[in-house]
Amino acid sequence: MGKQLNILLLAILVLSSAFSNVSAASAADTEKGFQFLFGENLKEGYITINSSSLYSKETGYGLKNPSSIQSGQTTISGSEIQLSADLPVNDYNVSLSVPGTVDTTKAKVFINNVEIKKSWVEQDGGKVLAFRFALIDDSMNFKITGEPAALSQLSITPLPKRTAGDKPSIFLISDSTVRAYEIARAPMTGWGQVIDRLFEPEIKIENRAMGGRSTRTAYAEGRLNDLLVDVKPGDYVFIQFAHNDEAVNYPDRYVTVDEYKSYLNNYYIKGAIQRGAIPVALTSMNRRTFKQDLGAFVDSFPAYTQAMKEVAAENKLTLLDLNAKSLEYYNQLGYEGTASIFMQLKPGEAPNYPAGLNDNTHFKEAGAKQMARMIVEEINDKLPALSQYTLPYHKVMKEVFKDTETLWEREQIEKMALLGVMSGAGNNFKPEREVTLQEYLGMLERLTGVKPTELGLENLEPKPELLTREAAVSLALDAYSQKKKIAPPAGNADLYADKNDISPELVNKVVSAAQLNLIIPDENKRLQPKGVMTKKETAVLLYKVYIMMNI
């Protein structure tokens, strides 16, 4: 009996040791990732999965819905494939292969509810989807749909560990108030488009913001994932959301306050910290939310502002309070004055918005620069390690003038000053000062590169000393037409009540310019051709030429 007991104990010890070795081997293997084949395909170094391969914690991989899966010789298929692979937190190269006969235009691939929006590539008679994935939790849960969904091979291999750069980069993840816009949408500008001007050139700004995104959609679309696989230890991740999170009328974007906090905590902040990056919380700047009874601007989304503050405190993050600073600035400008920074556009004012625009959310470049200024002020107060790389606002953004802050024409004035086309005197622009013809010819040459001798100056005899509206738009039309090498459109002088006031030799050019909105008639259909141009009116005209040349 004693001998039998000893044999039994020895057997248990051997089995225990064997199971221990299997577990250790599995843990070691997961550090290297997984290589899967599907169906009945067997190959050394690969794990084969077929319709009987049910996921278990013991193996750390398998199908979650094996009863819905059909196995072929080298594939598995079904209306939906659910597959899990337990792995350490890391960034991975992932490659899925399907047979060449599969219609990948109808296939969708999700990992942990993140849709993989990459392109399939034909390879070796099949089709391959390759991408990088930042694992935040301890398992990759694949969901693959299609008509049918199929898999023939799956490779998951860890990416090399990234090391800190000589200087940190700043990654931005947010919505339309931060994103960069193409010139075809000017003057709309996100603060992420201009904030690089306030940092030393060596500091790289990685703007991953996109319009219409909330914490949920930026995660689900893979925007956070694409950031996390690029960020390095020591980099900063600036997180600003609220505009779309609170948009209850847009259910594809909306999240409750609790969900908002959950996404921030469990994905954005956690994912950044895992990779050695430094998450920074930003309360969102406000919309143009003005309360008449208070005579003041108020927080556009107070519950989400408070939630971001709580998340920052709970995670011991630096909070940049753009919400409070923007409210202070709006109230300083006043309701009418804030039209100078928001996308408030009159008909004909901006070539990209000929009908005008009434937008109280998005900013012109003039507004975006102010948001960037406020953020850098917060950085200088709260992030000493990063503040050493910032530049003085008043030395960088010299195109911002004290006497144009609340002017409707502020955007155009600042753009022309930034381009070196126009200038002020110290902190003032003197927007009401009249412009001479000689000054204007210099401005037009600096903007377009067209020399005065190449313009139709012969039509301006005798040359006026001061710049008239008809002279300004005629010369602008000449410069634009030469630069773009296009014939100007024909116009109709009979549309305008004061057509007889236009100099005869300039009629065709003036009415052509009116077709392009270079000159706008008043409510009485008068062009006022002999009116003298002020600096602010000249900036508006030259801005139109600038945009038209570049779109």
Checking if the pLDDT of 12 tops 70, the result is: no
Neighbours of 288 (CB within 10 A): 18
Q: What angle do CA 271, 276, 279 make, to 5 degrees?
A: 60
**What are the strands, taking DSSP E only, across 400-497?**
none
Whole-number pLDDT of residue 377: 99
Whole-number pLDDT of residue 458: 79
Q: Average pLDDT of the chain?
A: 94
Instruction: Report residue 1's pLDDT band, with 50, 70 and 90 as the boundaries.
Output: very low
Whole-number pLDDT of residue 229: 99
pLDDT mean over 372-384: 99
Neighbours of 333 (CB within 10 A): 18
Q: What is the pLDDT of residues 80-97, one digit of tens each?
A: 999 999 999 999 999 999
Whole-number pLDDT of residue 29: 61
SS3 398: coil
Question: Residue 368 half-sphere exposure, CB side, CA atoms within 13 Å?
Answer: 26
Percentage of the residues of the chain whose pLDDT score is greater than 90: 92
Instruction: Report residue 463's pLDDT band, with 50, 70 and 90 as the boundaries.
Output: confident
- Per the CB < 8 A criterion, the answer to whether 174 and 285 are in contact is no
- Per the CB < 8 A criterion, the answer to whether 168 and 203 are in contact is yes
Whole-number pLDDT of residue 459: 75
- Per the CB < 8 A criterion, the answer to whether 303 and 311 are in contact is no
Q: What is the pLDDT of residues 251-306, one digit of tens each?
A: 999 999 999 999 999 999 999 999 999 999 999 999 999 999 999 999 999 999 99
φ, ψ dihedrals at 396, nearest 5°: -90, -50
pLDDT mean over 453-478: 90
pLDDT mean over 442-461: 91
Q: What is the pLDDT of residues 501-540, one digit of tens each?
A: 999 999 999 999 999 999 999 999 999 999 999 999 999 9
pLDDT mean over 472-488: 96
Q: What is the pLDDT of residues 418-431, one digit of tens each?
A: 999 999 999 999 99
CA distance 282 to 307: 11
Q: Give yes or no for a cis peptide into 489 (omega within 30° of 0).
A: no
pLDDT mean over 446-460: 90
Q: What angle do CA 444, 446, 451 make, to 5 degrees?
A: 65
- β-strand partners of 353: 350
Q: Show the tokens assigned to 256.
A: 């409750």
pLDDT mean over 237-261: 98
pLDDT mean over 468-492: 96
Alpha helices in 239-349 (DSSP H): 257-263, 270-274, 302-314, 322-333
- Per the CB < 8 A criterion, the answer to whether 188 and 181 are in contact is yes
CA distance 414 to 422: 9
Residue type, 452: P
pLDDT mean over 156-161: 97
Checking if the pLDDT of 19 tops 70, the result is: no
pLDDT mean over 17-29: 38
Residue type, 131: F
Q: What is the separation, in whole angstroms, between the first and last Cα of the chain? A: 94
**The overall pTM is greater than 0.85:** yes
